[in-house]
Structure 1
Amino acid sequence: MLKKFSDSCPLTLAKNDLHQDHFIPLAWGHGGSYLGNLVPLYCVLNDSKQDRHPFEWFDANKDRFNLSESAWNEMTAILASQNGLTPSELRAFVDWCYANKRTVAQTKRDNERYGYKKPSLEIWREATGLQFPIRVDFGTSTQLSAIGEYSTASKRTDCASNPDSAKEAVM
């Protein structure tokens, strides 16, 4: 994941105090911990985003944190590509996940109904009739384990104490 984003936060270019952000929040019952849903975000940004709709969060906070629209578009283009989507399809997928949030119990029922852990992307494609791409990059457990170090509680505490540091990271 870090290599895709030049070993830094794609929005601030910070190389330290990074958190592993789930672009589509796990709290929604969609997304998950795979390469096409993970972004190394500067800790202050991730603390601000929490489980908010990522596109709505960016629109509401780009001025506050002095974030670049072109950097956002590049980041979302990478995520779209990793999911076999166009950027506009990624937005539609995120909107669908937001509108169709699932509890843990609902997710378990869906897994039982399908007989396996069916990815939300697959459920969304079936619901919308969108054809599947030739390849979707879900990453590997090796790639995922290498990024787990960016979401430690101590780093979260440090970031929460200085919310203005995101502006400093991009200046």
Structure 2
Amino acid sequence: MKMYCRDCEQEAEFYPYWKTRCKECQRAKQRAFNRANPDYLKAKNQRRRARLLALPNDLPPQVWTDIQERFGGRCALTDSTDISLEHVIPLENMHLGTTIENVIPLDRTLNMRKSSKNFIDWVFEPEIEALIDEDKLNDLLCYLAEVNGLSVDDYLDFIYWCERNKRTEEEVKSATKTSVELFKESQIKMNV
């Protein structure tokens, strides 16, 4: 459909659904928005990544901003302000997804080095352990345990449980219980 763009005032091809900007102006507006709102874009991309794996992906941009503010706009393990969204339980394990229970702000370089490793094993690698603040690690573990409704000891067990009990996409799609609920059930069975 051809109309006049409200930005460039040229007659041009428009996206459907009554847009008021031509395709070029709409793309430019979206690029400018993305540059001005990198946290929004990060959260959106991580939600999409989790959604493609059929994992929970209910992390609104404002919640990601709140999580960053909880850690003072800094890495949860160091004082770095060059942060990115990190999944504590890697998406590859098919547990938790992009949710408040599974994301933290982490220094960009550390995030790349962690990749999809087990969080606890990675933290105690000698070259990583030397870079992190032990008090920040303890605070982070308390925070993660709390948002997951677990004690710190149970949360540490949960991290290893997720690694040992990786799920398939079909298992995730057919699941009627959260990963934390499944973990708690497995703990009860072990103690019986």
- For the aligned pair, the TM-score class normalised by the smaller chain equals 0.5 to 0.7
Unpaired segments ≥5 residues, structure 1 = 131-171
Q: What letter matches 1:28 in structure 2?
A: N
Change (3 A) 1:83 1:62: farther
Whole-angstrom distance in 2 between the partners of 1:126 and 1:37: 20
1:129 shift after superposition: 2.3
Q: Which residue of 1 aligns with 2:81?
A: 15
Whole-angstrom distance in 2 between the partners of 1:38 and 1:23: 6
Q: Which residue of 2 aligns with 1:25?
A: 90
Structure 1 position 107 matched with structure 2 position 172: yes
Q: What letter matches 1:84 in structure 2?
A: G
Whole-angstrom distance in 2 between the partners of 1:65 and 1:44: 14
Structure 1 position 119 matched with structure 2 position 173: no
**The structure with more radius of gyration:** 2
Looking at both structures, which has the greater relative contact order when contacts are Cα pairs under 8 Å and sequence separation is at least 6? 1
**Aligned residues of 1:62 and 1:68 also touching (Cα < 8 A):** no
Match for residue 57 of structure 1 among 115, 122, 135: 122
Q: Which residue of 2 aligns with 1:152?
A: none
Q: Where do 1:41-52 residues align within 5 Å?
A: 41-52=106-117
Corresponding pairs, count: 123
Change (3 A) 1:74 1:29: same
Report % sequence identity: 29
Q: Which residue of 1 aligns with 2:131?
A: 66
State TM-score, norm by structure 1: 0.66
Deviations, residues 35-70 of structure 1 (Å, cap 9, x unaligned)? 121100011011011110000000014556521222
Q: Which residue of 1 aligns with 2:142?
A: 77
Q: Which residue of 2 aligns with 1:5?
A: 71
Moved over 6 A (4+): none
Deviations, residues 107-138 of structure 1 (Å, cap 9, x unaligned)? 22x32xx3xxx3211111122129xxxxxxxx
Change (3 A) 1:61 1:4: farther
Unpaired segments ≥5 residues, structure 2 = 1-66
State TM-score, norm by structure 2: 0.59
